[in-house]
Amino acid sequence: MSSHDFIDDPKFGHTRMRLPVVLVPVAMFLVLLLGIIASKIYVDAVLYPDHSEESSK
């Protein structure tokens, strides 16, 4: 398969259970936001650990 076969054939890839083209940027944006939120939670947990376990001893 040469490199221009992929460009010339728009039906290449999955045809069933395909995400509508309009929702692709929305899904990418949501994944980006979830990654940013998860990284903020992780960084806060590492920089400011909860010392309640140590103080209870």
Token pair in block for residue 29: 């944006």
From CA 44, how far away is CA 53, in angstroms rounded? Answer: 17
pLDDT band at 20 (very low <50, low <70, confident <90, very high): confident
pLDDT band at 40 (very low <50, low <70, confident <90, very high): very high
From CA 6, how far away is CA 34, in angstroms rounded? Answer: 32
Question: How many percent of the chain have pLDDT more than 90?
Answer: 37
Judged against a pLDDT cut of 80, whether residue 47 lies above it is answered with yes
Q: How many helices (H) and strands (E) does the chain have?
A: 3, 0
**Prediction pTM value:** 0.53
DSSP label of 20: P
